[in-house]
Structures are given as structure tokens and as C-alpha cells.
Structure 1
Amino acid sequence: MKMTDIRELSNEELTKKLEDGRAELFNLRFQMATSQLDNTARVKTVKRDIARVQTEMRARQIAAESAK
């Protein structure tokens, strides 16, 4: 997911994306531990998506605090 797509999401959608990403990462790690994971590069992609969502959430939090 690209940063431009993430910026267009609402706060609720960002929270949902973060939950989904963490759940997917958990499942990927479980598959890796049981040697069922075919695409190991997917773990890196999911981690980056989670980081992008967290970065946008933090940027919005900082912007809200500075607007006070």
C-alpha cells in the first residue's frame, strides 16, 4: 500500500488497517514457523505497511496536538 493511499483513509480505517496488518503478520509468522509459508517476502511487505500506517497515525496525532 502506498503512502498516498494511506493518507486518504479516515482514522477508523487506519485503525482497521493496522489491526488487519498485525493479524496477517501473526499468521505469516505462524506459517513460517510450521514451514508452510511459500512467499517469505510477504512478511517484509506487511511489516512496511504496518509501519506506514503507524507513521500516518502519529503524524495526525502530532498535527492535532500542535493545533491546540
Structure 2
Amino acid sequence: MKASEMREQSAEQLNEQLHGLLEEQFRLRTRKATGQLEQTHLLQANQRAIARIKTVLNEQSKKA
């Protein structure tokens, strides 16, 4: 999802998405540690999505 689309969502919705991405990141890291993760690019994509959400949340908190 693009940052412009995220800016239209509420902080509650973004926090729910962030929580889901953090859970997914944990699963991916566990799979990588056990050698079961073949698509390692998913880790980087997940991390970027987390950073994007945190950036939008920070922008929203500074506006308020």
C-alpha cells in the first residue's frame, strides 16, 4: 500500500496493520533462522511496509 493511501486511514486502522506486519515479520525471521525461508526479499518488503506505516503515524501525531 502506498503512503498516500495510508494517510487517508485512521491511526487505529494503521496500528492494526502495523501489528499484523510485526507478527508477519516474526514469522519470517523464524523461518529464515530455521532455513525454511526461500523468498528472502519478503523480509525487506515487510520491513519497508512497517517503516512506511510508522512514518505516517508519526506525521499524524505531529499534526494533532
Which band: TM-score by shorter chain? Answer: over 0.9
| In structure 2, distance between residues paired with 1:20 and 1:26 | 10
CA RMSD in angstroms, aligned pairs only: 0.8
Amino acid at match of 2:45: T
Task: Name the SS for the 1:35 alignment partner.
Answer: coil
| In structure 2, distance between residues paired with 1:6 and 1:38 | 29
Number of residue pairs matched by the alignment: 64
**Alignment match, 2:62:** 62
1:8-19 → structure 2 map (5 Å cutoff): 8-19=8-19
Q: Percent identity?
A: 36
- TM-score, length basis structure 2: 0.94
| In structure 2, distance between residues paired with 1:59 and 1:6 | 11
Q: What's the offset of the Cα at 1:5?
A: 2.0
Ranges of 4+ aligned residues in structure 1 off by more than 4 Å: none
Structure showing greater Rg: 1
